[in-house]
Structure 1
Amino acid sequence: MPQSSARLSARSERLGRVALEGSVVRCRRVARESFAATQAEFARMERALRVFDAELEKVARLELGRHSHEEVRKAVTLLLEQKRARIKDRFKDLVEAHELRRQQLDSFTVLFFGKTMAGKSTTIEAISAGSGNTIGDGGPDYTKKVEGVSCGGLLLVDTPGLLGFRRELAGVAESYVTRADLICMVVADEPIEPELFERMREIRGQHKRLAVLLNVKAANRRLLSGDLEEAWDAREVGEYVELIRLQLQAAFPGDEVPIIPYCANVAFEAQRAEDPDWRAFLWKHSRIEDVIRVIANTVTQDGLAIRATAPFDALGWFAQSIAEELEEDLPIFRRQLPELRRKQGEAFRRFERVIADSATELSQIKGHFLQVNDQLYDLAGEIIRGERSESPNKAFRRICSWNVVQEKARAYQQGVIERLQRNVEDFRDALQSDLAALVQIEAELEDVVTPEFESQDWKKATARALRVAGRPLAGFGGGAAGGAIGLMLGGPIGAAIGTLLGAWLFSSGVETVADEFDANAERELRRQHRSLREAMQNQLWSAYRGLNDRLFDWTKRAAEKTGRAVGEFLGGLGDAIDGLVRATGTLVDTLHRSRQSLARGSYRVLLSQCHPAFRTGKVELVDATQWMRYRAKLRVRCPDGSSPIGLVVGRGGEKLRALRAHTGTPIDVVADAGSRTTRAMVVEALRPARLDPGAISLGHTISVQANGPLIGAIRGRRSRNLLLAREILGIEISLVTKAWAEPRGSR
């Protein structure tokens, strides 16, 4: 027989092609039926993800709110775009995986994972009687393209370029896992890194059968030299098997994963041997038949259940993983909303306080006028008696010390602006810190660039508000001094402050008072001391009131405009976060509904394939929900009204164990009581917590009294157990600690 024909014949025999043929055909049929049944749920998830992206785009443009500050847009864009990009990637993974699943409905896919040089390609070449062209030289291979080898109704797929479990390609690995019906994790008899099993735990996700292939390279040289006695060191191989078993128990507690020692290269060399006896020797002692037997048994014994549930579980896993990722962010974003509202109220109070404090600071200017007022009596007398050589106008100007008033007013204005600036900077720093934290959580990176939320943005916004506040004071001159102060402060806000201080309101106002004194008051003041003093006092306090009113009005406008700008900024940011929360919450709710619907479909076909009580109609599935790799809950009933628990669980729990071997998750069974919810149903739904029925109160919602460790058992990991119980019962469940419940009961 020619060598190529011998290889083909050997391949058929090795895989038991005749025995597999009927199983593969049946698997193909149920795979198509299940895939068709998932199309409606896939369309719903697709729509929900598209709506989510559109909503975040609106939030990014701030169309959900009434604010349109450029600074707000800059502050939230990074956060929103990261979220959009991440969910877009997950959506792309979902679509690609779904399409791959559609393309491979007719093949039972066996996926080989492992590090470079572990023996993945060699194993596939040996099983498929290949030429060896796909076997690498050990160099790094980063291609993301995966080619499968068709073999006896199976598709044997290698995963080059992933190095088995490189984190940066975890998404690619997950998409390959989605298309797999059986995962063969190939490890060599080298130092075994626990991280490999952790990476496999991360990407396995769905209900995927797993087998570990231990490629014993130490047997290679010995077997090829014909040394059968020294080829397999039972103690050494046993130590590797035990080490792998411990790692599996840590990564997949409760799963029974087979571990098969073999020698991949010897199996491959067997099919290249010219001598039939030598070929048979190498093939037999490579132990590759043990690997083939595991693959064949998986197809013939469990293939129908695997292929029937795979489309449901693939979509369900995506719904679960995306929802879980979004749910981790929701509490953080929700906590931001009241904090932003609190900051808005604080902003209002702070800038109101600036106005209130201005009264105290203006009193310092008033003190100067009081001192001048006391000196006016002597001045009036000196003028009447002719003891002044200077004109009354000059004397009045000198004693009033208008330059001192001007400096005090200037210092007051500068102090107000500095307080406004400090308040603005305080809010800027607080919000910058908050946003940086949010972005870091979203990015999940160690080195996160601080959002483009720098002081220049705030300074521009504040400068605009202050310029608007200062407009009524324009036209009083003094720009040179203001420009100098602006240079001293620096930046856009410094320029704005300089403009305000430069628009000096006092230089023209008080000088006008002096001119009026020259024109009207001098003749009257000479007639009598009292009239002169009163006239000067009237002019003095008229000037003070005008200055005080203008400074207070300027302060009020500046503080209100600046406070309004900060408040609107906070409001715009609150609108953006609120829009993100609402969009995320809507998507999460939809994904949870899809997850439960897909779980219902998955268990319906699984139970009809694997459980005799459901296959014969003795027990009916009312509802099902699950959180993959954690727990599942089934709500069941018997048409004749008898208890379904014994039929479902089996003697000693054997039937549930058989289901767990497929799903990889514990299963809780709830006996349906019709339209009403009973305490017994609640007890069963909240397992593994051991509840006393007396601690349960039934009503529109269910209240469960608990305390201590029992609360943790009821909630489960990340409150998933409580979530699943609510879903399977279709009613809200609230926990009440005994410390709170007992006083109410005592009354």
Structure 2
Amino acid sequence: MDDFTDSLAEKKKHLDAFTLSLFGRTKAGKSTIREALTNGNGNTIGKGAQRTTRDILEYNWNGLRLLDVPGFEAFKGDEDADKAHDIIDQSDMIMFLTSDDSVQPGEFDEMSRLQELNKHFFVVMNVKYNLLNPQTEQPDQKEIRRFLKRPEKVFEFDRLSEHRKHIRSYVKKHLNIDHVEVIWIHAQSAFLSTLEELQEISEDLWDKSRLDTVYSKIAKEVNRSGKHRRVLTFYDSTVHFIDTIEKMLWEEQRLIRSQALFMVKKRAELKRFFDSFIPDGNERIEQNAAKLYSPIKQWVPYFVEEYIGKKDIHSVLQSNLKEKAKHIEKMMNNHMKELINELQSFLTEFTRQYQYDINSITLDSKNMSDFKKGQIGRVLKWGGVTLSGFSAGAFIAATAGWGAANVWNPVGWIALGASTVVGLISWFVSDYESKKWKKAKKDAKKDLLEHIEELERKTKGSYKAWFYENITKKGRREMLDKVEVYIDSLFFVADQLREKANTINELKEKINKQLFAHLLKLEGVNCEAYQLIRVAREQGVATKILVPSEWYLDGKTNIGLDNICGEHVMLVSETSDLRTQLANALYPATIEPDQVKIIRDGDRVTAKVNVPNSLKGLVIGKKGVNIRLAGQLCQVKIELNKG
């Protein structure tokens, strides 16, 4: 906005001055032409060196403002490029200079990067025929006489016509201008005509230079369209600025909405993972605990047979169970770590895929008009940081203390169970007769196994309870909730951007209405901006304007603004019959109202148009512009059917 405000302020300084800018490559002769036009003394004419004109030079010439711009080779960085953009923004007309010694398509490719705004553009070809003595660099009388006698040898028609043909093809390719005027001149002879020592032949030198053709071209444009172009210089740069912002907002909302839709899929993937991981994790806890307790159960019969009745039975039992308890705790901890590692591995990959998708998003700079300083895309960057912060790392805090949290103490439970069993065994030994020894051992085995199985159930229950609390309940919920909040936030931002883009579009239409009302007034049409019902415009390409029916147009009318605006401009009469209005809006294609069928679905209006294959291309227009603008003008969605 600061740049835009500065641009308007600069243009306001020169409200009364029609501005002509002189562009071209270095060594093409720009300074020579400018010296000739402004009757300079030749001090700024280079001697063939690169970057002769390093700064933008401003001159007042015949009531015009003339800007001499550095050659393209001088633009070596963003600052220089911005300077060139600013000059084009201030210009009402651009004169592009090339020379017959080396016409290169790259010259016009460079110009296309600068010519973002819709400016009138013509080409001057400087014929390089040297009239100076190579040694003294003073006028060579012999060469001058030869030139004045046979100028057609310098302006060789066939050779220069071939150059003109190439220039027009380059301009069409790189600047998308169908036809450009190419004027041949000899800049050096025009400048020599200003020298006092050649005063006797100055008129002849000037006449043979053909620079009068350039004078006539400029004078014609200023007299016919000067006011129009002054208006366009102010309005079009504003429209271009707003259009760039609108495109940026639409592109941002598209990217953010696509990211939200991508995250919806990722959320479903995350849910499927948890739906599979949680039951699988519980099953593995069961299996691992059972596997660890199985050897203890197998050891019980041996222990009872070997130690029952012995004095050291209690210490042996406690020692063995304590050792096995440590093993169980260690192994269960390892199993839980494996589960957590699997979870974190999935979440890390989940984040990596997300980061890859968001980082792989690229913008087509051509569609965005090379918006300054790479602003586009910055809105999304916070997303990568946000999600990476609550994905794989989200469970670190939840799982870091599980091993040290003392959520399971098998040693204590086993010791308690062992004390009970030892007491029973001691009771068996002291109170039962030998004939009941066999039954006592059986009961001891049974009782000890029951206690171990109880410990196994408690072990499984303890780990599964932790797994449920931290993974099933807390982890799954928090992760899915955060993704849900993120998705909602993305959709919210996308909706806000879409709303602002629509607001910007409304502002752009208001400005376009002001612009064309002003231009129509200059064409003798007495109208105000509010009378223009709707303006559908693609700057520099085409404009369709819906006007009141009382203007008594023949349905569709081309007005004399095409050449001035550099785009096709057409007025379409508003009618109560939407079919007729749309048929007219699709001009230059000839469509009859009965070829159009209107379908209404609430606020949505669709127009189905029957079009023969021979007319389909004309209806659609180049790159879809005709059908797109017609739909915008009539506020319908157009669908084509084969007639």
Q: TM-score normalised by the shorter chain: which range applies?
A: 0.7 to 0.9
Is it true that 1:376 corresponds to 2:279 in the alignment? no
Kindly provide the CA deviation profile for residues 545-575 of structure 1, in whole angstroms up to 9, marking residues without a partner as x: 2211221123234435544564455456545
Read off the aligned partner of 2:230 and give its amino acid letter.
R
Indicate the SS of the match to 1:635. Answer: strand
Aligned match of 2:86? 175
Counterpart among 426, 429, 443 of residue 523 in structure 1? 426
1:263-282 map, 5 Å = 263-282=186-205
Unmatched tracts of structure 2, length 5 or more: 134-138, 433-439
Indicate the SS of the match to 1:356. Answer: helix
Counterpart among 373, 376, 394 of residue 316 in structure 2? 394
Kindly provide the CA deviation profile for residues 576-629 of structure 1, in whole angstroms up to 9, marking residues without a partner as x: 64454244323322332222222222222222223x5x3599xx7544331112
Structure 2 CA distance for partners of 1:457 and 1:118, relative to 1, 3 Å: same
Relative contact order higher in (CA < 8 Å, ≥ 6 apart) = 1
Is the contact made by 1:113 and 1:159 (CA closer than 8 Å) also made in structure 2?
yes
Structure 2 CA distance for partners of 1:218 and 1:137, relative to 1, 3 Å: closer
Is it true that 1:361 corresponds to 2:262 in the alignment? no
Separation of aligned partners in 2, 1:543 and 1:462: 34
RMSD of the alignment, in Å? 3.9
Read off the aligned partner of 1:596 and give its amino acid letter.
E
1:457-476 map, 5 Å = 462=392, 465-469=395-399, 471=401, 474-476=404-406
Aligned match of 1:258? 181
Read off the aligned partner of 1:680 and give its amino acid letter.
T
Structure 2 CA distance for partners of 1:707 and 1:186, relative to 1, 3 Å: same
Aligned match of 2:329? 406
Is it true that 1:601 corresponds to 2:514 in the alignment? yes
Kindly provide the CA deviation profile for residues 454-474 of structure 1, in whole angstroms up to 9, marking residues without a partner as x: 999958974563333454653
Separation of aligned partners in 1, 2:92 and 2:364: 34
Counterpart among 94, 109, 124 of residue 213 in structure 1? 124
Greater shift after overlay, 434-443 or 145-154?
434-443
1:471-490 map, 5 Å = 471=401, 474-476=404-406
Indicate the SS of the match to 1:639. Answer: helix
Read off the aligned partner of 1:192 and give its amino acid letter.
V
Aligned match of 1:336? 259
Aligned match of 1:728? 633
Counterpart among 418, 421, 444 of residue 344 in structure 2? 421
CA drift of 1:217 comes to: 1.3
Separation of aligned partners in 1, 2:622 and 2:3: 26
CA drift of 1:128 comes to: 0.9
CA drift of 1:110 comes to: 0.2
Separation of aligned partners in 2, 1:106 and 1:622: 31
Aligned match of 1:539? 451
Kindly provide the CA deviation profile for residues 313-338 of structure 1, in whole angstroms up to 9, marking residues without a partner as x: 22112222332344344333221112
Is the contact made by 1:312 and 1:598 (CA closer than 8 Å) also made in structure 2?
yes
Aligned match of 2:584? 684
Unmatched tracts of structure 1, length 5 or more: 1-90, 477-503, 650-655, 743-747
Counterpart among 85, 89, 96 of residue 6 in structure 2? 96
Q: TM-score, normalised by structure 2?
A: 0.81
Is the contact made by 1:634 and 1:670 (CA closer than 8 Å) also made in structure 2?
yes
Separation of aligned partners in 1, 2:418 and 2:27: 99
Separation of aligned partners in 1, 2:547 and 2:507: 20
Structure 2 CA distance for partners of 1:714 and 1:583, relative to 1, 3 Å: farther
Alignment length (residue pairs) = 602
Read off the aligned partner of 1:724 and give its amino acid letter.
L
1:268-667 map, 5 Å = 268-362=191-285, 363-384=287-308, 386=309, 391-395=313-317, 398=320, 401-438=324-361, 462=392, 465-469=395-399, 471=401, 474-476=404-406, 505-506=408-409, 508-510=411-413, 512-513=415-416, 516-517=419-420, 520-524=423-427, 526=429, 528-560=440-472, 561-564=474-477, 566-567=479-480, 570-571=483-484, 573-574=486-487, 577-578=490-491, 580-610=493-523, 614=525, 621-637=532-548, 639=550, 642-645=552-555, 648-649=557-558, 656=559, 658-667=560-569
Indicate the SS of the match to 1:274. Answer: helix
Is the contact made by 1:638 and 1:644 (CA closer than 8 Å) also made in structure 2?
no
Separation of aligned partners in 1, 2:364 and 2:446: 71
Separation of aligned partners in 1, 2:539 and 2:355: 38
CA drift of 1:208 comes to: 1.6
Indicate the SS of the match to 1:131. Answer: coil
Q: Which has the higher helix share?
A: 1
Separation of aligned partners in 1, 2:127 and 2:154: 10
Overall identity of the aligned pairs, in %: 19
Is the contact made by 2:289 and 2:459 (CA closer than 8 Å) also made in structure 1?
no
1:219-238 map, 5 Å = 220=131, 225-226=143-144, 227-228=146-147, 229=150, 230-238=153-161
Structure 2 CA distance for partners of 1:276 and 1:559, relative to 1, 3 Å: same
Higher alpha-carbon Rg:
2
